[in-house]
Structure 1
Amino acid sequence: MVLDANVLQEFGNLETTEPLELLGPSSLEANRKFTNGTMPGHRLHASPQGVATPLHPSHLGRTPEVVNSRSSSSGSAPTNPNQEGGSPMENVRYHDRTVVQIAIPKPRFPALPYLSSQSGLVYDDRMRNHAEPLPLHDVDDPHLEQPARISAIYQELVSAGLVYDYNDSSRPSKYQLARIDARQATAEEISLVHSREHYDWVRTLQGKTNEELHEIGETFDSIYLNRATWLCASLSAGGAIEACKEVVTGLVKNSIAVIRPPGHHAERDTSRGFCIFNNASIAAKVCQRDYPDLCRKILVVDWDIHHGNGIQEAFYKDPNVLYISLHVHRDGDFYPYSDYGDHLHCGESAGLGMNVNIPWSDVGMSDGDYMFAFQHVVMPIATEFDPDFVIVSAGFDAAAGDPLGRCFVSPAGYAHMTHMLMSLAKGKITVCLEGGYNLVAISKSALAVTRTLMGEPPDRLVSNEASPSGIDTVHKVVRQQSTFWKWILPKKIVIDPGEPKGERMHDVVRALQSDEFFKKYNMMPLFIHRKKISKSFINQVLATSNYREPRPLLVVFRGPPEVIGIPDPRTNMLELHNIYMTDSTKTYLEWAATNDFAMIDVNIPKHVTDVEDDLGYTEADKANVRADATKELALYLWENYIEVSNATHVFFLGVGDAYKGLTDLLNTNENCADRITYVVNFVAASTAFQGVRGNSNEQLSLWYYQHSLIFLANDHSAWDPEYIRTVRRKKYGNLVQSPFKTLKRMMEEHKSQVFELLLEETRDWRENVKTEPNLKRDGTIGTRETALLLTERSKRASSAPLKVNGHGS
């Protein structure tokens, strides 16, 4: 069939070389040539009213062959003369005009329909016009969200041979990306997500001066504006719509939209965070409206480093859109600076459970963290949801080298995530560009994603080990989401408020320790003045009755015993016979008691139990909160008990996170070094490392180096070649690299070394105990002898040899 002459006349002198096939009612497509000065092979687009208009080719970088081309207003197909099959032609009356329809083509190889279909690309050079308003634009220091972001990605795809560029003299290949034209989104489409007032406001920007636009932009959150912002933002939203429509209707198997400005921060009534319109949300709403049978359930995965507050807002009550976001949250101290992106926001009303936030606790996340999150949260939930269509809000600012994200996701990491998502919705997936501000990183990452969409397997991962903080975040999300999803295990334990009230085991264990230590060592709780009441404080500090006497005093700062429990894999319940407890410090207390040391045992709980405890799952108290509490307690004990005691020697033993209370004590009260004989610390890889440096006492760092033994886990970051010279400084103490990684193995391995040190440092006291005629029956000696021993200890401490890694030099 050939177009009617009247139709041809309406669009200019159009010379058709192939008959037209069936297409959707609002597009025209043909393998044709323009003879009125336009580029060969260029497409006509239908306006929203059904009137088609020629589209100027200057912005497209397009292919002159329709085999690599797609029309896009409502989805269309290539007209490939070599294509088998086809559908009969039909004319439809549309606003009193004849519009040609073209059918969806059959795959090139019917036995492998998905593999033999093309992937689609949206790219429109006009979107580069959204830039800082001249002359305010600084050429030497461009804005992070700069026009080159999309052109760099496009050129990377061209250089890799994945897309045909109209400037290329060679012929396009059927294996390359099919080109999908961007168009401006309509007011009706944008208003599915945004208010009409917001739409109208953006449209008025065309008539503003640069100075006015700059002033307006200054009143917004991380936004700049110019007179092309309206055009670019509507093209960005329209490009996302067309990229999604072509996948939903089966014209391409999947697609990538290289668009800007980004969209996931834009909210219903405002623009923010470099975003004008919420592209992915608009596209999802349009597909749900136009294709209710094909696209009822949509999964939106947002791997931009920042939380997509705008997308979450758009679908927070929608039961048919599942939104999953992986982002740095840092307890709300990372853009967009709100608790809205925490793991507790799971949706509302009918949408409860349809919002999944995976909020990283800090920057520095890598491939291993994202793979762990995908395998334990994203894919199980997404598979159970079983979407009809997948949209990826693909910010590449978690890529290594990004100035804002400061994470380490590799191109292969993005490819693996894409590959997993392609297993959903029969492979119907559209990737829409969001953030990413390192041009090299976003180009390489987008290339890897595109190659995966086209069928290439992902490269090997750079790193496949999840970080401790990443694992903690994922497990936190699993506990929260297990309430809503069958495939998420283990299940969150819900306490029935009608059941008899129980006790938290860390308080029970400490009470048992108190009872055991009283019977074995005559240790009793010390009074500590508190600002609040808690069970966790009752037995927090235990001391032998002789802690005031003139004998060596060992002060231990440690956390609760290590507990290993094997829960039921289905119910997540723990049974007592499957719980094991290891208290590594008990060996040190037993040794100290045997050798006539006085002892103070300080337990630093990870959580201080509230009086009105609901017994539900509770996160450990924040590290900075615990550190401040430990410092306060250490100062209190020093001033009220240790400093005023008659101890001949004072030894501090710090285990795990609690050791920081000892270094804080030295940094705060520099004079306490005069009374301390030695400091021994055991530091695991998960514990931040800190040193001792006096503000007024310049010799404090040297003293700490000469009077400390710091055992660091074998895998602690301090041993990294990048940091080793720094941590060798004297303020970090006398470091020893343990061959083991866990605290209990470290303490077992090095106990002989510690015991030998304590015996050597207290030799004078033990010798005097044997020979002192005034020795009391309870092992104490008189005041005069005490003074002599203290003087002797000070002399020995001041003349102690310089040690390196535990050996004299």
Structure 2
Amino acid sequence: MARIHPPIPEVREPRLSGDTSMRETVTPDMSAEIDHRLKIETTDEEDSEDSLLSDTSSDADDTVPKAPPGLPIAQLPTGLCYDDRMRYHAEIAATTGDNVHPEDPRRIYYIYKELCEAGLVDDETYPPMVEVPLKRIDAREATREECLLVHTPEHYDFVQSTAEMSDAQLIDLSEDPAMDSIYFNTLSFFSSKLSAGAAIETCRAVVSRQVKNAIAVIRPPGHHAEVDRTMGFCLFNNVSIASKVCQNDFGEGCRKILIVDWDVHHGNGCQKAFYDNPNVLYISLHVHMNGLFYPSGTEGDMHHCGAGAGLGKNVNIPWPTKGMGDGDYMYAFQHVVMPIATEFDPDFVIVASGFDAAAGDELGGCFVSPPCYAHMTHMLKSLAGGKIAVCLEGGYNFRAISRSALAVTRTLMGEPPDRLHATAATTSAVDTVNKVRNVQSRYWKSIYPKDPVGGIFGGERLHDIIRQWQATHLYDKYKLTQLHIYRDNVSKSFDQQVLATPNYESKKYLLIIFHDSPDLLGVGDGMTTQQKPHDTWLVDGAQSYIRWAVSHGFGVIDVNIPELITISDPNNPEYNDAEVEYASTATDIARKEGEKLAAYLWENYVEPYDFRGGTFLMGAGHAFHAVAKLVSENENVYPNLLGIIGFIATNPIRPIANPGSHWVSQWYRDNSLVFVSQVHSLWKKDGHPSKRYGKLVRSNGEVLNQMMKIHEHEVFDWIKQQIRENATDDTTEDDEDAEGSKDSDGDTIDDPVAPEQQQQQQHPAPSQGSGSGNDSSNSNSRDGPRGAGFAMSSTGSGTGGDVLMTTER
């Protein structure tokens, strides 16, 4: 069908109006005088030079090549490689519904159809709607020699052998666990060679400037295929083979290649293929979950940076969880990918473009939008003179991969990306990217901050210094002293980490606080990892709760859970005298130590004593795990509790349940207050959480210690309410007998905040949070004996009950 172009308007000289009064005005002719004033005398040699050069130009400008006239690259078409025959690789047994393998042959068909319907392809069924449609690149089978540039002969022969197997043999082979998520039919060998050959021809077309850039809609994918094995839906490593072929065919014109892999899974095959190669920079953004996410293991962590001559040429950005979105990927691109890629200065860029991080892909579980893929493509186009080839890898939601591939293709063709709506990175993404920068800063000049010259020499861990200061500070203010751990099977990391108020066992009420280490907030110079002490602040959210509890006559046990736990297990060489992160998602061996500590403290420092009023447990951050496990696994704990308080920022929410006693979960729901940050993934899910997670309250805070500060008054009111509701006649009589008298048990302390507390109690501050304020106000208005149990301890002159506000003389 012929396209009709709109007529080009004729350019005419402007016609003057009939009013010529201005033109008839006599005006002096100054042209000759002006020409004389502007006359600059020059030599013939100077006249021959470019008159547009400024007098500030220097010889350095000669190093910049002169740009060719016109737009020679922009006018080239974008390439497209697609071949229906790659769909021949399919499962032997015809399946429908939920049994269909996610690496479905229809994946590439739906992408091609989306491009056609958008009018970008010159197809018989879908005529193009753009002036320069995608230029088709013919696919071909990769040769044995080309495949052997990456794979071993044994690997090639194995894949080839599947073409001669019977259906029964192929089914048995596909079900072999050693194959690791692979299926075969008699045409798998052909389709996989065609996929690799298509990647080769796509890359060759871009490097040779037949097209300005290109997208290869190919399958089966390849980035998991290792040198000597198939795995993860991949038979031959398409991108790696294409890279090797281009380096061989184009020499210095394609010596340095950048591979950016934004598939949601780590491209272990690509990493291994070039791990010691200084001319191939591999950058992967993937969900890692400390090695629990496919392909599992440690190879995808940020500390695998290459080896030998290739050291520094492997960059992993391992997301700690699923659920990452546009802001996270853009932050990683702006702070890691593009600075390193620009410094590397590649001759050619290949994108291992899996779309399984796209929103809607259940296998990936992330939320990357088509505009985000377009923006990442747009940034990569600025490299290598625009020589970029996008090769399909994963992506298993037909609609998500089609829309994402269309956005990338439109950007390749020159269309600007659509606007992004979610641009803020999550806390976990910022933390991950900063850690990657710290690791990579030793290999790249453009990445900061850098370690101090000479590294870390001498000194002590600041964590230990802080806890020693805390112990001194808490003793000076509240007389807290160490509780010793007399058990060899509990990690020595907890030495000096458990403190208690004097004679806590004689108090009516007990508050046990398990919390993460305090935050250090500071502003460095941005160039090194050194911190300025003057601009660094220690923030400890637990201290206000200790102060409040002591001023209200509670006994307090304060348990600080270090970030790293030393594991001593002679029977396990991997974890013998090893430091393991308490929050690790790769292993729970460190949290097991926290569980043992909690059980030990309960059995030896809590259970033997009678706290007549009751006990409260508080868990803040990752330390909440120990609280949850203690209550879940020891059914003697919860009957002695008045309630549980929790603060969850971004760490997983731990349920409390006991299979042998279904009442535990119901009790927990009725007697808990768990604040969960508004940025937690919990609030993105539909439906109501199970009662096993307690009474959840959405917090406006995002950082743990910030949340503890925001909600402290809610917690204080809730504790008072729990005491009133659980008050017995005995505890009421104890309070009445104690009214007007002062205890002298030798542990009274000088509490500098007592007057302030009394003033706050007489004039209560408004609640600063949401979720439990209404309950607290309703309970305060109740009359009767249930409300009398704590009334004397929370109001009045401070001389009744167990409130100790006098000064020891």
Deviations 1:82-105 (A, max 9, x none): xxxxxxxxxxxxxxxxxxxxxxxx
Which one of 207, 212, 217 corresponds to residue 169 of structure 2?
Answer: 212
Superposition deviation, residue 756 in structure 1: 4.8
Alignment of 1:384-783 (within 5 A): 384-492=343-451, 496=455, 499=457, 501-531=458-488, 536-608=493-565, 621-622=583-584, 624-625=588-589, 627-649=591-613, 650-681=615-646, 683-719=647-683, 722-723=686-687, 725-726=688-689, 729=691, 731-756=692-717, 761=723, 764=732, 765-770=734-739, 778=746
Output the CA distance in 2 between the equivalents of 1:349 and 1:669: 52
Q: Decide whether aligned partners of structure 1 residues 166 and 704 sit closer, same or farther in structure 2, where only a CA change above 3 A counts.
A: closer
| Amino acid across the alignment from 1:587 | S
How far residue 139 of structure 1 moved from its aligned partner, in angstroms, is 5.3
Structure 2: gaps of 5 or more residues? 4-67, 570-574, 725-730, 749-771, 780-809
Counterpart Cα distance in 2 of 1:200 and 1:555: 64
Match of 1:129 in 2: 88
Distance 1:439 1:494, change over 3 A: farther
Q: Deviations over 1:79-136 (max 9, x none)?
A: xxxxxxxxxxxxxxxxxxxxxxxxxxxxxx9512222110111111222222223xx3
Q: Which amino acid in structure 1 is aligned with residue 275 of structure 2?
A: Y
* Gap change, CA 1:533 and 1:587, over 3 Å in 2: same
Query: Could you report, residue by residue, the CA deviation over 1:425-476 in whole angstroms, capped at 9, with x for unpaired residues?
Result: 0100011111112222211111111111000111122422222332232222
Structure 1 alignment gaps of length 5 or more: 1-62, 66-108, 781-801
1:674 to partner: Cα distance: 3.0
Show CA shifts across 1:380-416 (max 9, x none): 1100000000011111111222242222211112111
| Alignment match, 1:377 | 336
Deviation (angstroms), 1:225:
2.2
With over 3 angstroms needed to count, the CA separation of the structure-2 counterparts of 1:611 and 1:570, relative to structure 1, is farther
Query: What secondary structure does 1:485 align onto?
Result: coil
**Quick one: structure 1 residues 126 and 744, their matched pair in 2 at CA, closer, same or farther if it must change by over 3 Å?**
closer
The structure-2 alpha-carbon separation of the partners of 1:643 and 1:334, relative to structure 1 and needing over 3 Å to count, comes to same
> Which residue is 2:776 aligned to?
806
**Greater shift in the superposed pair: 519-528 or 736-745:** 736-745
Equivalent residue, structure 1, for 2:115: 157
Q: Report deviation, 1:535.
A: 6.7
Instruction: Tell me if the contact between 2:80 and 2:214 (Cα under 8 Å) persists in the aligned partners.
Output: yes
Deviation at 1:548, TM superposition (A): 2.1
SS at match of 1:340: coil
* Cα separation, 2, equivalents of 1:617 and 1:429: 43
Name which of 255, 271, 276 aligns with 2:214. 255
Aligned length: 672
Q: 1:710 to 1:321 in 2, by over 3 A?
A: closer
Q: Structure 2 length normalisation: TM-score? A: 0.77
SS at match of 1:596: coil
Compared CA separation, residues 746 and 308, structure 1 to 2 (3 A): closer
SS in structure 1 at match of 2:79: strand
Structure 2 SS opposite 1:369? helix
1 CA distance for matches of 2:678 and 2:129? 56
Q: CA deviation at 1:806?
A: 3.2
Confirm or deny that 1:349 pairs with 2:308: yes
Mapped to 2, the partners of 1:247 and 1:617 lie a distance apart of: 49
Q: What is the letter of the counterpart of residue 424 of structure 1?
A: L
- 1:633 and 1:231, CA in 2 relative to 1: closer, same or farther beyond 3 A? same
Retained in 1: the 8 A contact 2:181–2:233?
Answer: yes
Which residue of the other structure, out of 213, 229, 254, is the alignment partner of 1:295? 254
Aligned to 2:205: 246
Query: Match of 1:293, SS?
Result: helix
Supply the distance in 2 between the matched residues of 1:116 and 1:195 (Cα, whole angstroms): 41
**What do the CA deviations read for 1:221-272 (whole angstroms, capped 9, x no partner)?**
2222223223222221111111111111111100111112221122222322
Moved more, 652-661 or 373-382: 652-661
Q: How far apart in 2 are the matches of 1:756 and 1:563? A: 29
Q: Pick which of 207-216 and 441-450 moved more.
A: 207-216
**Secondary structure of the structure 2 residue equivalent to 1:157:** helix
- CA drift at 1:721: 7.5
Distance of 1:297 and 1:399 partners within structure 2: 29
Q: Give the secondary-structure state (helix, strand or coil) at the position aligned to 2:374.
A: helix
Q: How far apart in 1 are the matches of 2:633 and 2:305?
A: 43
RMSD: 3.3
CA contact (8 A) 2:567 2:590 kept: no
- Return the alpha-carbon distance in structure 1 between the equivalents of residues 279 and 645 of structure 2: 58
Normalised TM-score (structure 1): 0.77
Aligned twin of 1:194: 151
Report the Cα distance in structure 2 between the residues aligned to 1:194 and 1:752, rounded to whole angstroms: 64
Whether the 8 Å CA contact 1:608–1:621 is kept in 2: the answer is: no
Question: For the Cα contact (< 8 Å) 1:478–1:489, is it kept in 2?
Answer: yes
Comparing 737-746 with 336-345, which one deviates more in the overlay? 737-746
- Contact 2:327–2:423 (CA<8 Å) still a contact in 1? yes
Query: Secondary structure of 1:581's match?
Result: strand
C-alpha distance in 2 between matches for 1:568 and 1:462? 31
